[in-house]
Amino acid sequence: MDKKKIDANAFVYPMPMVLVGTHYQDRPNFMPVGWINRVNFNPPLLGAGINTRHTTAEAIMDTEVFSVNIPDVTMVKVTDYCGIVKGKNVDKSDLFDIFYGALKSAPMIKQCKMTMECKLYQKVEFPTNTLFVGEIINAYADESILTDDTPDIKKLKPFTLTMPDNRYWTVGNELGEAWNIGNEMKE
């Protein structure tokens, strides 16, 4: 076999980068999270795998709500900064303009052109991380990133993360339509 066994932790596919917003001791706090994805279609649930020692984990357990904010490529430095300094030690609430929706302890970031406010639906505890499963109560977008009322990634310009090489990446070119371009392989 021409395959080489590598570190089982060498997890490379591009992960979405978002900023998770919480209230830590009544102060808005933000943490970049790459281990996040949808886990259920209806109701719309997403799961964020967060190291249980993080301030954000403590805050979600306390308030049972959080926000998910999608930064764009112009926000890569401030997003990274939020992952370098600890919310317990540094007040990050001045880094962004903040707004709230229906959930009073889920601060959202105006500079992020797409945001979601989530209610904690379930906590799944693993050895080092907790998967915080949130129900998306409301999603918000700037008009400027919508095409036919749907968020358009070419306008949103988010970025992704690879680990363990720890690099950020832009989104590239469109390759085709899902659940469609494979049709030509049907006999």
Q: Which of residues 10-39 bind its own copies (CB under 8 A)?
A: 10-16, 18, 34-39
For position 94 contacting its own copies by CB under 8 A, the verdict is: no
Contact (CB, 8 A) for 8 and 94: no
**Under the criterion CB under 8 A, does residue 97 sit at the interface with its own copies?**
no
Amino acid at 121: Y
Residue 176 exposure: Cα atoms within 13 Å on the Cβ side: 7
List the one residue from 61, 63, 64, 80 that touches its own copies (CB under 8 A): 80
Q: Per-residue contact track with its own copies, 138 to 157, x per CB under 8 A?
A: xxxxxx--xx-xxxxx--x-
By the 8 A CB rule, do 69 and 113 touch?
no
Distance, C-alpha 122 to centroid of its chain: 17
Range in contact with its own copies (rule: CB under 8 A) among 23-31, 58-66, 70-78:
70-78
Is 124 a binder of its own copies (CB under 8 A)? yes
Distance of CA 75 to the CA centre of its chain: 14
The Cα–Cα gap between 128 and 52 comes to 6
Among 27, 53, 77, 88, binds its own copies (CB under 8 A): 77
2 binds its own copies (CB under 8 A): yes
